[in-house]
Structure formats: structure tokens, C-alpha cells
């Protein structure tokens, strides 16, 4: 298993799509589950995971605000 590189962990994440962020989160979980990881790397990767989680939450909030729901009269209301 490949540990997330420090350069990748420190790179800005706002340009990631939601799917890319979830993929990176999967890599973070895999790396943290590895027994061959140092404490320093674990901490750094954990921090990256927390940044990704925050990004995912923000993107999901943005999407929820844009979702339209059909009301009882056939019109559209914001979710």
C-alpha cells in the first residue's frame, strides 16, 4: 500500500471534486490502518483526512442548497 506523500497531503484541496475527495479519504483510511506507518506520518495523514472531510461536508452543503423539490402544485421550491 502506498502512503500518501507529504507533498500531496499539504497540497490545497479546494479544486477536488466530491468524488476525488472521497477517493482521497479512502486512501487516508487505508494508510492509517497500515501497521507500517510512523506516528509522524499517521498524524500528518490524519490532518489531511480532516481537511478532506471538511471539504466534503462543504461541497455536500452547497449541493443541498441547490437541490430543487417539486411542491404539491407542480412548482419548484428550494430544498
Q: pLDDT over 70 for what percent of the chain?
A: 71
Residue 22: φ, ψ to 5°: -65, -40
Number of other residues whose CB lies within 10 A of the CB of residue 68: 10
Mean pLDDT of the residues in the chain: 81
Contact 16, 28 (CB under 8 A): no
User: In terms of C-beta density within 10 A (0-12 exposed, 13-18 middle, 19 or more buried), how is residue 21 classed?
Assistant: buried
pLDDT score, position 62: 85
pLDDT at 4: 52
In this prediction, residue 31 carries a pLDDT of 94
Residue whose grid cell is 477517493: 23
SS3 76: strand
Amino acid at each position: 500500500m502506498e502512503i500518501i506523500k507529504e507533498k500531496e497531503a499539504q497540497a490545497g484541496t479546494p479544486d477536488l471534486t466530491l468524488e476525488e475527495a472521497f477517493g482521497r479519504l479512502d486512501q487516508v483510511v487505508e494508510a492509517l490502518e497500515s501497521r507500517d506507518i510512523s506516528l509522524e506520518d499517521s498524524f500528518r495523514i490524519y490532518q489531511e483526512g480532516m481537511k478532506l472531510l471538511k471539504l466534503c461536508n462543504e461541497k455536500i452543503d452547497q449541493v443541498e442548497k441547490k437541490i430543487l423539490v417539486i411542491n404539491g402544485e407542480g412548482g419548484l421550491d428550494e430544498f
